[in-house]
Amino acid sequence: MSKAKTNQVMEDLLNSDGDIPTPPKPGTPISGKVVSVRNNKILVEIGGAYTGIIFGREAVDGFDTAKSLSVGDDVKAYVVEDENAEGYYTLSLRKAGREKAWDKLAAMIDSTQTVEVTIKSANKGGLMTEFSGIRAFIPVSQLSPENYPRVSGANSSEILNRLQKLVNQKLTVSVLAADANENKLIFSEKAGLSGKREGALKKLKVGDKVKGKVSGVVNFGIFILFNDCLEGLVHLSEIAWGRVSDAANYARLGEEKEAVVIGIDENKISLSMRRLTTDPWLKQSQKYKVGDMVDGVVDKITAYGALVKLEDDLNGLLHTSEFAKNGESETPEISLEVGDKIEAKIIEINPEEHRIALSMKTGEEKPKKAAKKKSEEKEEAEEEADEEKPKAEKKPAAKKKTTKKKEE
C-alpha cells in the first residue's frame, strides 16, 4: 500500500463517523491480513488503517510461516519499528514465532510429543541446539543409551570428544523444561524415546537371547544396546567363565555382541555373555572330591585368604583359618606369596557357587595325630618295662634314699 493510499485511508477515516484505530506500537503483537507477497517482502494491512512490512531476517521463524503465506491470509506478527518514511511499520514473524514456539513448548511438557532438532555445538556438560530461534540445552544425562558417552574414569576430554561427534546430527527430543521468562529450554533425548522403550521393555523377559551393539566399555562391565532403544549391562563377572579383570579385552565400542537376559529390575537390564557357553568349571570340578589332596599354585592373596589355581579356570579358596597348623594360632600371619606351590586338602565342593574350599591345616592333621599316638605308646611301653625289672635292681635307689635320711 503506497503512502498516498495510506493518507487517503486516513482521510476517509477522519471524515467518517468511526473511531480511528490506535497506531501500532513497537514491541506489541498485531494481527493483520496479507495484501502483497512480492520480492521476499510481505505487506500486511493492520486494522484497515495502517500497513506493515515483513522482510529480511524478520521473515524467518521456526515454522516457515513466510513460505506458506498468500494474499488474503490472516497473519500474526510483532511490531519492531515505528512507521518509516515510506509509511510502513516494520513487522517481525521471527519474534511472533518465538512466542508461538514458547506456547507450543509449554504444552509439550509432560507429554509424549517430540520434536527433531539439529545439534549446533557441544561442551563437557551436554549439547547445544535451538528450536524456532530459541537456544536449548540437552544435558549428558538426558542422552539416549546410543549417544551417552560411557567413559571409564569419567575422562572429561574423552566425553567431550564423543559429544562433538554429534554436532550437526539430528536428534529426536522431548521437552524437559521450558520457561520463557528465564529464557530456559531443556530437552531430553532419553525421554523422547521413553514410549518406545516402555513398549520394548514389556515384551522382554529373563532368558531371552539378544543381539546388539556395544555402547560402552567401562571398568565394571560392557553395555550393549539392543532392540534400538534398550540397553543392558554385562557385569564383569558375567563376561566370561573364570576371572575377568579387564572388560576391554572382550569387547570394542560399536562391536556386535550376543547375550542373554538374566535380570530385569525396573529400568535396569542385566545381561550375561558367559551363560551362552558351557560352564567349564562344572566339567573340570568333576575330577575332584572332598578329601582329595591336591597340588596348586597361589594365584592371588586377599584379606581373607588365598586363591589357589588348580588348573585352567579352576581355583580353590584357602581361607586364613585353614593356613594354621595344629598347635598354632587359628589366625596366623599369611606367609604365602603369589606363585608359591602348595599342597592342600579339598574340604568342600559347591557347584552352585563355583567354590572349592581348601585346607592346609586339615592336610597335616593325620600325620600329627599319628606322631602323638606313637609318643604315647612309647611312654606306656617304658612304664611296663620298668615294672618288670628285678627288685635287686631297685635297691640302690632305696639305699640312696636311706642315706640321705641319716645325713639329715
Q: What is the mean pLDDT of residues 107-127?
A: 90
Total Cβ atoms within 10 A of residue 71: 12
Q: What is the mean pLDDT of residues 375-401?
A: 48
The 3-state DSSP class for residue 225 equals strand
pLDDT for the residue 334: 54
Tell me the helices (H) and strands (E) count for the chain, helix number first: 10, 21
What backbone torsions phi and psi does residue 360 show, to the nearest 5 degrees? -85, -30
DSSP states of 11-33: HHHHHSSSPPPPPP-TT-EEEEE
Are 89 and 127 in contact by the 8 Å Cβ rule? The answer is no
Instruction: Please name every residue paired with 404 in a beta bridge, in sequence order, or none if there are none.
Output: none
DSSP states of 235-272: EGGGTSSS----GGGT--TT-EEEEEEEEEETTEEEEE
- The CATH code of the domain at 198-276 is 2.40.50.140
- The CATH code of the domain at 109-192 is 2.40.50.140
- Report the amino acid identity of residue 379: E
pLDDT for the residue 407: 42
Element of type H or E holding 122: strand 121-123
The Cα 114–Cα 189 span in angstroms is 9
Express each pLDDT in 216-256 by its tens digit.
898 899 999 998 889 999 999 999 987 788 999 999 988 99
pLDDT for the residue 238: 95
Q: Where in the chain is the domain with CATH 2.40.50.140?
A: 3-98, 109-192, 198-276, 280-362
The Cα 379–Cα 394 span in angstroms is 20
Side-chain half-sphere exposure of 249, counting CA atoms within 13 A = 7
3-98 maps to CATH 2.40.50.140: yes
This prediction's pTM? 0.58
Buried/exposed 216-254: b ≥16 CB within 10 Å, e otherwise: bbbeebbbbbbbebbbbbbbbebbbbeebeebeebbeee
Give the closest residue to 25 by CA, choosing from 74, 80, 102.
80
- Report the amino acid identity of residue 377: E
The 3-state DSSP class for residue 333 equals coil
The Cα 334–Cα 267 span in angstroms is 44
Q: What is the mean pLDDT of the chain?
A: 82
Measured at the alpha carbon of residue 71, what is the angle toward residues 65 and 75, in degrees to the nearest 5? 40
Express each pLDDT in 339-375 by its tens digit.
999 999 999 999 888 899 999 874 444 444 444 444 5
Return the CA Rg of the chain.
44
Identify the weakest region by mean pLDDT among 17-26, 289-298, 320-329, 359-368: 359-368
Q: Answer with the residue of higher pLDDT: 324 or 126.
A: 126
DSSP states of 130-185: EETTEEEEEEGGGS-TTT----GGG-HHHHHHHHHTTTT-EEEEEEEEEETTTTEE
Identify the weakest region by mean pLDDT among 32-46, 94-108, 285-299: 94-108
Identify the weakest region by mean pLDDT among 8-12, 57-61, 155-159: 8-12
| Residue 173 in this model has a pLDDT that exceeds 80 | yes
The 3-state DSSP class for residue 283 equals helix
Element of type H or E holding 200: helix 194-203
- The CATH code of the domain at 280-362 is 2.40.50.140
The Cα 139–Cα 110 span in angstroms is 18
DSSP states of 337-351: -TT-EEEEEEEEEET
pLDDT for the residue 228: 80
